Homo-oligomer: A and B are copies of this chain.
Amino acid sequence: MYNVKAYSAISATSPLASATIPRRNSTESDVQIEILFCGICHSDVHQVRNEWSNVMPTIYPIVPGHEIIGRVIKIGSAVTKCKPGDLAAVGCLVDSDGTCPQCKAGLEQFCPNLTLTFNGTDKHLGGVTYGGYSDSIVVDERFVLRVPFNLDLAGAAPLLCAGITTYSPMRHWGVTQGKKVGVVGLGGLGHMGVKIAHALGSHVVAFTTSPSKKEDALRLGADEVVVSRSPDEMHKHTGSFDFILDTISADHDINTYINLLRRDGNITLVGAPAKPLDISAFGLIMGRRSLSGSNIGGIAETQEMLDFCGEHNITADVEVIPIQKVNEAYERLLKSDVKYRFCIDMASLKSE
């Protein structure tokens, strides 16, 4: 066991502040990674503030962060996936049982015994796992990902959650060339959704409540932009979408989007509104439409996504901040005052 610097919160109402946390000594299958960048995900905020207490209560102190890019500094004797000096990435998962049907299907995100990167059960040290707002992390090589050499590292960090969360359902529901794809919301997830849907060759329509985001959406890769507050603009697209990715976690009327789906179309939720959604059965029945949810992706698919992003030179649009600005960044994130993801330059932690 060794100690590393981190930023943690000690209660739902405390700001994040400098702290020291333990990391395990590497086992033979472990990779020790110096963290270079860590993206700030909306779920960091939810969990720091214990806003998902009914489904996954927060255990304090919490060190959030699951969009991790770093450099390998040490490997266990059995590690074959990487070597010291390599770039490496870690996403939302750091372990799973490896034996259940979900793991065997490469869908570790649904393993009943998975270990989340933070606020998960730490099988090695006891207590909870600590995430990427820290100097370094020790992770079993099965959960360490390769980073394409050409990607900007700060922009690549959000791929580990925002990237895979949008890529996975698009692949699952068959987004390809010739499909008409909607992306609802132009935040951290949504802007990645637009980029990825575009790179997959589909006709991309971005939905936003802010006319001011129109030009930006086109720049990100949208073929069309619809201001969702305009019933006329919405109506023109009735019954036309093969797939819609809904990234909104605020309360909103999803029936409006269900009606835009063609027969057998699917709308997938990747944001998780706290309040239940009001769904009209008629919208689903008329057109055999589906409403689904999707949760990050498995490890193999996360690597596939990183490789795809490497090939298409896709990264998130990030505002890089020092860790000392993380509490301010949380407030700005809640006001959607970021284009489109904050990413912490972890070098800033060295001065703490």
Contacts and interface: CB of A to CB of B under 8 A. Distances in A.
Interface of A: 55, 102, 107, 110, 169, 172, 255, 263, 266, 269-273, 276-295
A172 B287 CA distance: 13
B279 A291 contact: yes
Given A55-B282, A266-B290, 14 more contacts: A110-B263, A110-B286, A255-B276, A269-B281, A271-B281, A276-B279, A281-B293, A282-B293, A285-B293, A285-B294, A287-B293, A289-B293, A290-B291, A290-B292
Contacts of A295: 285-288
A20 to B, nearest CB: 34
Contacts of A172: 288
A282 B56 CA distance: 11
Report, nearest first, the 5 A-B pairs whose CB atoms are least far apart. Answer: A284-B293, A285-B293, A276-B278, A290-B292, A272-B281
19 contacts: A55-B282, A110-B263, A269-B285, A272-B281, A272-B285, A273-B281, A276-B281, A277-B279, A277-B280, A277-B281, A281-B293, A284-B293, A285-B293, A285-B294, A287-B295, A288-B293, A288-B294, A288-B295, A290-B290
A283 B272 CA distance: 10
A276 B282 CA distance: 9
Chain A interface main SS type = mixed
Contacts of A279: 276-279, 291
Contacts of A284: 269, 291-293
Contacts of A272: 281-282, 285
Contact of A263 (B107, B169, B263, B291): B107
Given A272-B282, A276-B279, A277-B278, A292 B291 contact: yes
Contacts of A285: 269-270, 272, 293-295
**Copies assembled:** 2
A210 to B, nearest CB: 23
A99 to B, nearest CB: 15
A276 B289 CA distance: 16
**In this complex, which of A277, A278, A279, A288 has the most chain B Cβ atoms within 10 angstroms of its Cβ?**
A288
Contacts of A283: 293
A102 B278 CA distance: 28
A286 B281 contact: no
A255 B277 CA distance: 11
Contacts of A290: 266, 290-292
Nearest to A172: B288
Given A279-B277, A282-B55, A110 B287 contact: yes
Contact of A110 (B271, B281, B288): B288
A286 B282 contact: no
A102 B286 CA distance: 12
A278 B281 contact: no
A19 to B, nearest CB: 30
A106 to B, nearest CB: 12
Contacts of A292: 284, 288-291
